[in-house]
Structure 1
Amino acid sequence: MEKMPLKVKLYTFSVIIIGIITLFAGITHISVDMVPRIIFFSLLGIVAESLIIKISGNIYISMNFAIGLAAMLIFQSPVVSIVAFLSALLWVVKEDGKWVHLLNSSIYKRIFSGSAYALSLTCATIVYHRVGTVYGITESIKFNIIGLLLAISIYTLLDIIIFSMLSAVLENKYFWMFVKENLWLALNVFGLSPLGIIIATAYMNYGWFAVLLFFGPLLIARYSFKLYMDMRHVYFETIKALSSAMEAKDKYTNGHSYRVADYAVGIAEQMGYTHDALDRIKTAAVLHDIGKIGISDSILNKPGHLEDNEYVVIQKHPEIGAKILSEVEFLGDVSKIIKYHHERFDGKGYPEGLKDAEIPMEASILAVADAYDAMTSDRPYRKAMDSHTAMNILVKESGIQFNPIVVKAFRDYLRKHGGEMAHVG
């Protein structure tokens, strides 16, 4: 077992024990005629789990729940735990040119994932098997619609709880914060549910060959989506490289964008933003100064204060940045945040002189994070301020330059995070 804190060991070991008990319960329900079906759906599950697609950070999606749901409808027995456990244990994926499999990755993590999946899917199966009236879908197969909805809900709830609790004990943060972050899993599960029903229907009516015929187009669709995500990743990495190139022009702003991203995400978390919004704000923060790539070095690196005509030029960088990013479809929302991050709450900002609620809240968050890091970093014309002084300026400008809601959230965030930040305001 990898070295980990005691509470993490206790939690993961508890889930594994319950999962293994569930697995043995499934094994006791096996009959000889089930074996070919168990092997078939386990192989499908392994393939589905091996075809994961990375969305961002540690977020991945796969088609595996569709296979699990189909198994639930076909077996209506705890044997689904075997399908779930094997698919989460034996997946194979290629990462950075290297094949990752059971023998060269963390077996403990795989057993934990398999146990969690087996537990959630088995509980869902029990709920489905025990609930209510059966409604006909076709002449040869009937599904319990009420039980199906409840089973999917139970599976989703358990999945979110298990992995939110894992994140909470790993990072020593509030459980409910991770529950909100993981709510997107519900969309993935409910989105795959019709596919699971179709696979079960195809198998019960036409056998395993029909499932394979149906599985082929799904693999093609998955491949197309992966190509899109890969292209999206390449676009984003290219733009980040441009941003880094821009920062390389000015030694005083080196690392600025990533510090601003940390502050902006902290503010947004304090304000209760969901995972998608946090990801959008982080992206905007990393890229917020990309427009400066179109500004002359002599202006960017001027040691003294700017002349009026030079200040007019530097004010163009939010629009330049927004224009660059607007050319990339999936960064459209990000470009709007960047365009307005120099607007002021009193309407005296640029480029459009927006005020109060006219300014997107994400842009107001970025404005506060950007200003704080600028004040606490060395500049050609002054030394860095201490955090206490910078925070006091933000508070003084609350309701004038900055959105008061955002300033309060930032103040609360900094107070929570110890170190030299603990004494601010």
Structure 2
Amino acid sequence: MMEKTSLKLKVYISFILLLGICSVILGFGYLTRENITTLLFFTVLGIIAESVAIRMSNGIAISVSLGVGLSAVLIFQSPVVCIISFFSMLLFFESVDGKVIHIFNSSIIKRLFSGSAFAISLFFANVGYDISTKLFWKFQFQGYNIIGILMIILIFSILDTGIFLTLISLIENKTIHNVVNEETWLALLVDFIAITPLGVIIAVIFSNYGMFAVALFFGPLLLARYSFKLYIDMKRMYSETIVALSNAIDAKDQYTCGHSHRVADYAVEIAKHMGLNETQIDKIRTAAILHDIGKIGIDDIILNKPGKLEEVEYVEIKKHPEIGANILMQVANLSEVAMIIKHHHERYDGLGYPEGIGEDLVPIESYIISVSDAFDAMTSDRPYRAAIDNDVAIRIIISESGKQFKPEVVKALLQYIDYKEEHLVYAS
């Protein structure tokens, strides 16, 4: 099966490379003495745009190279755009962990594939624009066809995304249906809302004021990019600090290693099924990873005791939510996370700790972590008992709905588990 998949992958990559190179060769046929300087300018612009792309932690790159490609289609209105797009992806460079990555120290196949995908997509986008200008010639803005512009971004988004989704599906041996996620559609939305106007603006500036004005226009964009990069770096450092604190918890309690990250995974999925917004989900993720940070203040002998805890020891363990909250209240921007952690052992019926409050007095985020924590605790080995089966754990959680756990959260957990099982069956 792997050999068959590998063969399909090689054939697919070869096919895309062949199409891409053919489109570039076709583009050279449209070169003239009049447009070669403009071609070189936009190629350099494309290389710069891709070189300063911001790579997010989820793998998505924020780049204005599509804006350059769109403006090139509007300006050249010929397959020359394939040359610009191909060499932009082939020759870009970037800094990764202090090392400059370029064509000579990175995968040439990846660059050729990316360049080919970009060239193919813009080639057909150019065809779409040409057809639109003939069919809808009345719809003009600053000399450019509005319907044609929409056609460019639509064709490009479908083709470019489709090419890479197919590649991923072949690499991971999954259907495209299982490869597509919310982040894919978010990336497309960014293309539609942000990049399209940018491409039109570049084309209008070039048509009216020339290359020098476009170069000046790019200056503030690069400055904005630098500011955003600083923000991304700070957020990354924040995330790494959270993970480091989580690792400190794991080092303290040898029996629950990895527990916090599993709880975070469950909590995030439950939050998504409950329709919570991204801000809430981020807080839940952070709180879940750090929910046991208060155990740093608990004696190692109690934490690592192989048997059941005595009453006095259990009273000591019950202090960890408040200890954790007090620690995090001293950290800027973590006060809300601290309150979530403080209440993650409260019960819906008001019989929990540390304050013995329930129902709507407890943050929904705390209830989500409570269910996630309980589910992972039951399905993981502990010093005083072996892990129980998932089905048994689910039955226990259902029986505690409305008592220990908030019913809406239990419902969301069940929806997530059903969803996960359905996708496992589908994937198999």
Q: Name the TM-score class by shorter chain.
A: 0.7 to 0.9
Aligned residues of 1:73 and 1:200 also touching (Cα < 8 A): yes
TM-score w.r.t. length of structure 2: 0.81
Q: CA deviation at 1:287?
A: 3.4
TM-score w.r.t. length of structure 1: 0.81
Change in Cα spacing, 1:416 to 1:305, as seen in structure 2 (3 Å) is farther
Aligned residues of 2:49 and 2:65 also touching (Cα < 8 A): yes
Q: Which deviates the most, 32-41 or 278-287?
A: 278-287
Match of 1:316 in 2: 322
Q: Which deviates the most, 38-47 or 298-307?
A: 298-307
* Alignment RMSD (CA, Å): 3.7
Are 1:385 and 2:391 matched, yes or no? no
Q: Which deviates the most, 10-19 or 228-237?
A: 10-19
Q: CA deviation at 1:103?
A: 1.8
Are 1:191 and 2:197 matched, yes or no? no
Q: CA deviation at 1:91?
A: 0.9
SS at match of 1:77: coil
Change in Cα spacing, 1:334 to 1:102, as seen in structure 2 (3 Å) is farther
Q: CA deviation at 1:61?
A: 1.2
Instruction: Give the partner amino acid of 1:102.
Output: I
Q: State the Cα deviation string for residues 253-276 of structure 1 (Å, max 9, x = none).
A: 222223334445666788899999
Match of 2:85 in 1: 84
Identical aligned pairs, as a percentage? 46
Are 1:35 and 2:39 matched, yes or no? no
Q: Which deviates the most, 34-43 or 187-196?
A: 187-196
Aligned residues of 1:160 and 1:185 also touching (Cα < 8 A): no
Aligned residues of 1:318 and 1:340 also touching (Cα < 8 A): no
Match of 1:219 in 2: 222
Are 1:289 and 2:321 matched, yes or no? no
Q: State the Cα deviation string for residues 142-196 of structure 1 (Å, max 9, x = none).
A: 1212221232233223333333333333333442341533011123213122222
Instruction: Give the partner amino acid of 1:256.
Output: H
Q: CA deviation at 1:333?
A: 8.2
Q: CA deviation at 1:415?
A: 3.9
Whole-Å Cα distance in 2 between the matches of residues 364 and 13 of structure 1?
Answer: 52
SS at match of 2:385: coil
Match of 1:61 in 2: 62
Aligned residues of 2:371 and 2:410 also touching (Cα < 8 A): no
SS at match of 2:61: strand
Match of 1:167 in 2: 168
Whole-Å Cα distance in 2 between the matches of residues 152 and 39 of structure 1?
Answer: 23
SS at match of 2:79: coil
Aligned residues of 2:28 and 2:83 also touching (Cα < 8 A): yes
Aligned residues of 1:68 and 1:83 also touching (Cα < 8 A): yes
Whole-Å Cα distance in 1 between the matches of residues 104 and 7 of structure 2?
Answer: 26
Q: Which deviates the most, 409-418 or 211-220?
A: 409-418
Q: State the Cα deviation string for residues 228-287 of structure 1 (Å, max 9, x = none).
A: 111111122122212211221111122222333444566678889999998776555433
Match of 2:108 in 1: 107
Q: State the Cα deviation string for residues 185-211 of structure 1 (Å, max 9, x = none).
A: 123213122222222122111211111
Whole-Å Cα distance in 1 between the matches of residues 372 and 12 of structure 2?
Answer: 36
SS at match of 1:94: strand
Change in Cα spacing, 1:346 to 1:55, as seen in structure 2 (3 Å) is farther
Instruction: Give the partner amino acid of 2:413.
Output: V
Q: State the Cα deviation string for residues 313-355 of structure 1 (Å, max 9, x = none).
A: 2343674576467x33xx7887776566545565655668454
Aligned residues of 1:321 and 1:338 also touching (Cα < 8 A): no
Are 1:150 and 2:151 matched, yes or no? yes
Aligned residues of 2:297 and 2:320 also touching (Cα < 8 A): no
Match of 1:409 among 406, 415, 421: 415
Aligned residues of 2:346 and 2:362 also touching (Cα < 8 A): no
Whole-Å Cα distance in 2 between the matches of residues 169 and 363 of structure 1?
Answer: 40
SS at match of 1:69: helix
Unpaired runs of at least 5, structure 2: none
Aligned residues of 2:86 and 2:115 also touching (Cα < 8 A): yes
Q: CA deviation at 1:119?
A: 1.9
Q: CA deviation at 1:400?
A: 4.6
Q: CA deviation at 1:25?
A: 3.0
Q: State the Cα deviation string for residues 95-127 of structure 1 (Å, max 9, x = none).
A: 122221112211111111111111222222222
Q: Which deviates the most, 3-12 or 374-383?
A: 3-12
Q: CA deviation at 1:366?
A: 4.2
Whole-Å Cα distance in 2 between the matches of residues 87 and 306 of structure 1?
Answer: 67
Q: Which deviates the most, 106-115 or 14-23?
A: 14-23
Change in Cα spacing, 1:115 to 1:344, as seen in structure 2 (3 Å) is farther
Aligned residues of 2:397 and 2:410 also touching (Cα < 8 A): no
Whole-Å Cα distance in 2 between the matches of residues 159 and 334 of structure 1?
Answer: 39
Q: Which deviates the most, 378-387 or 278-287?
A: 278-287
